[in-house]
Structures are given as structure tokens and as C-alpha cells.
């Protein structure tokens, strides 16, 4: 029987059809947000097979086709003093809207979006009230909010096989000597089920890259003699 009869050629893909993640590579960002519904891979390392060691091969179409607003889910937890309120799971698109993206150079808009916890809110001018839990939160801006979100998206993608959701926190600044309650929102991010199913399917695999054999050349042999 022909070897091609056992392994359909149609299912054998070239290396350039994959991205290759390693432990070292996932510690650094490799894509950036280019809109609420798109990302762009900019790190060339993941586009090439490593020389050796463990690597996870992911079809390029899975990562290139990521829609941040649709393919990432969010859970939030509001802490006001000793009171903790957890909210339901929702798509990132409820936070990462076109209007928030339009003003991405001003971090206060994304900060306020996350502090709304995806819930109906009332804008009182200097503060926001979350109607479902009667909490009044002063407006402020976290200058690192976009970086925190981007890193959480990376961790959610690279920890696709884990049950835990990567988290980051944002908190209302407190003036020294103030007796105001400490207010924080903990944001948890995960891949949506449809993408997680793809990432855990037989189309994604972790394997050991074989070491390349260095063949001795005639010149090398002559030097040894």
C-alpha cells in the first residue's frame, strides 16, 4: 500500500502555516490590538520553528482570525472595603467598544468601561453608579490599563489549556489620610469556548523539535588530522 494511502496529503501542512509558541516566547507580547475586532502579530520569533526544545504549533488562521471583542470573555469582581460583588460572564466587546477604541489614547475611557463591570450604570459626572449593586465609584484613570488588558489577552491565549482565568486589577487612588473605602475591580479574561475548542483540538499540538545534526565536512576532517 502506498504511504500516501495511510496519511492523506491534504492534511499535511507546511511550516509556514503555523505559529510556534515556546515557554520563552510566551513571556513576551507577540500581538497587538489593531481594533476592537482585530489583532496583528508583530513578533517574528513565533513565525519560525525553534532550533530545539518544546514547541506548540498553532495554525496561523486561529491567531490571525482572533476577534478580541468576540473571542475573549470577561468576568469582573468589585471590592468596596470588605464588600465583594461578583458579576456574570460577558464578551469583551461590551467593554472594548468602537467608541472606547476611538479614544484609546486617553486611558480614562477604558478604565471607566472596566469599572462599569459590564453592568448598566448611571453617570453622575464625577462618579459612576452601578445600578445592580448600588455602588458609587469615583471617576479616575489608570494609565496602564491598555497594557494590562493586552498582557491579560496574551496570557489567556497561551494558557488555553488551564481552567484558571488570568487576572489584573484596577483600583481607585486613595488620598493620603483619607478614610474612604478601598475600591478595586479584578478583571479575569479567558478565551471564548469556540476558540478554546480549536486550541485544544487535534489541529494544535505540542511536540519536541528534533536537534539538527551537524554533518562533518571534508574541510573539518582535514583540520582534525
The model's pLDDT over 75-95, given as tens digits with 9 standing for 90+, comes to 999 999 899 999 999 999 999
3-class SS string, 177-189: CCCCCCEEEEEEE
**What letter does residue 191 receive in the DSSP assignment?**
E
Q: Which residues contact 85 (CB under 8 A, 6 or more apart)?
A: 77, 78, 79, 133, 135
Q: 104 lies in a domain?
A: yes
pTM value is: 0.86
Give domain status of residue 220, yes or no. no
Residue 113 counted as domain residue: yes
Cell readout for 183 is: 475600591
Distance CA 108, CA 88 (A): 23
Nearest CA to 78 among 41, 38, 116, 106?
Answer: 116
Tell whether 216 is covered by a domain. Answer: no
Q: How big is the chain by its Cα radius of gyration, in Å?
A: 23
In a domain, 22, yes or no: yes
Q: Say how many CA atoms lie within 13 Å of 129 toward its Cβ.
A: 7
Domain assignment of residue 123, given as a range: 13-209
Share of the chain above pLDDT 90, in %: 70
Confidence check: pLDDT of 218 > 80: no
Give me the number of domains the chain comprises. Answer: 1
Q: What mean pLDDT comes out for the span 203-209?
A: 93
* pLDDT value, residue 26: 87
Contacts of 86 (CB under 8 A, 6+ apart): 75, 76, 77, 78
Q: What is the pLDDT of residues 164-176, one digit of tens each?
A: 899 999 999 887 7
Note whether residue 2 is domain-resident: no
Map grid coordinates 492534511 to a residue: 11
**215 is a domain residue:** no
Is residue 163 assigned to a domain? yes
Amino acid at each position: 500500500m502506498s504511504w500516501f494511502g495511510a496519511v492523506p496529503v491534504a492534511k499535511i501542512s507546511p511550516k509556514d502555516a503555523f505559529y510556534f509558541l515556546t515557554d520563552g516566547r510566551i513571556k513576551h507580547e507577540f500581538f497587538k490590538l489593531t481594533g476592537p475586532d482585530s489583532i496583528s502579530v508583530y513578533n517574528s520569533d513565533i513565525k519560525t520553528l525553534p532550533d530545539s526544545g518544546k514547541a506548540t504549533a498553532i495554525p496561523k488562521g486561529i491567531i490571525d482570525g482572533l476577534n478580541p471583542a468576540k473571542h475573549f470573555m470577561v468576568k469582573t469582581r468589585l471590592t468596596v472595603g470588605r464588600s465583594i460583588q461578583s458579576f456574570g460572564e460577558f464578551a469583551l466587546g461590551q467593554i472594548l467598544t468602537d467608541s472606547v477604541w476611538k479614544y484609546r489614547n486617553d486611558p480614562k475611557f477604558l478604565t471607566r468601561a472596566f469599572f462599569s463591570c459590564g453592568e448598566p450604570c448611571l453617570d453622575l459626572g464625577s462618579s459612576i453608579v452601578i445600578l445592580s449593586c448600588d455602588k458609587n465609584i469615583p471617576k479616575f484613570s489608570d494609565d496602564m490599563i491598555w497594557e494590562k488588558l493586552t498582557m491579560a489577552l496574551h496570557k489567556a491565549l497561551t494558557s488555553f489549556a488551564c481552567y484558571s482565568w488570568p487576572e489584573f486589577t484596577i483600583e481607585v487612588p486613595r488620598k493620603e489620610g483619607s478614610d474612604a473605602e478601598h475600591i478595586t475591580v479584578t478583571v479575569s479574561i479567558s478565551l471564548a469556548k469556540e476558540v478554546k475548542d480549536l486550541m485544544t483540538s487535534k489541529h494544535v499540538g505540542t511536540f519536541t523539535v528534533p536537534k539538527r545534526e551537524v554533518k562533518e565536512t571534508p574541510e573539518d576532517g582535514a583540520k582534525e588530522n
